[in-house]
Structure 1
């Protein structure tokens, strides 16, 4: 059995098979997920699991080097946006690395999800609570 926080089998397999620069989306309950992309659906009910809890487990289990967000997230959901930035900053401090953070329109974000290896759907019901993580390397 795993000793780290990530227990979901599909997410564990995903982390084990990602390569450098692969992208993974973690999204709220409402983001459209392309049919051509693997869906890992964690949503149980409104808010469970939360976006930030899922992000924190992902960050603890996967090396990232970049982040893509929808510009609309900043104004529509400032508390959740700040919580995400705090989680990213904590990960940068823990790893001693600096991650790129890019903002694009929500429409461009939805199109970008087509390039993701997987989309992890949470139960979050906060508007624009979505992030694309670019995979880094551990060396």
Structure 2
């Protein structure tokens, strides 16, 4: 049995198979997911699991080096944006690296998700609570 906190088999497999620069999207309940992209649907009911809970679980296992968000996220949902940035800063401090953080218009963000190896859908119902993580290396 797995010892680390992430026990969801699909998420564990996803993280184990990521290569350097592969991308993973964590999204709210409403973001459109391209048919050709792997969907890991964690949503149970509105708000469960939350966007932040899901990001915390994923970052507990995944090494990142880049972050992409919609420009609108910062303005429309500042509390969730700030919570995400705080988690990213904690990750930077833990691994001693600085991550590239980029903002794009929401329409461009939706197009960018087509590059993701998988999209993880949460039960979050907060506008623009979406992020793309670019996989890094642990060395």
CA apart distance, 1:94: 1.0
CA apart distance, 1:102: 0.1
**Residues 30-86 of structure 1: CA deviation (Å, up to 9, x unaligned):** 000000000000000111000001001111101000000000001110000000000
The CA distance in 2 between the partners of 1:54 and 1:110, in whole Å, is 19
The CA distance in 1 between the partners of 2:56 and 2:94, in whole Å, is 12
TM-score, with normalisation over the residues of structure 1?
0.99
CA apart distance, 1:3: 1.2
Matched residue of 1:4: which SS?
coil
The CA distance in 2 between the partners of 1:70 and 1:5, in whole Å, is 29
**Residues 2-52 of structure 1: CA deviation (Å, up to 9, x unaligned):** 111111101111011110000000000000000000000000011100000
Partner of 1:86: 86
What is the aligned residue count?
139
The CA distance in 1 between the partners of 2:125 and 2:5, in whole Å, is 23
In structure 1, list runs of 5 or more residues that go unmatched. none
Matched residue of 1:30: which SS?
coil
Partner of 1:74: 74
TM-score, with normalisation over the residues of structure 2?
0.99
Matched residue of 1:97: which SS?
coil
CA apart distance, 1:98: 0.7
In structure 2, list runs of 5 or more residues that go unmatched. none
The CA distance in 1 between the partners of 2:5 and 2:45, in whole Å, is 21
The CA distance in 2 between the partners of 1:23 and 1:127, in whole Å, is 21
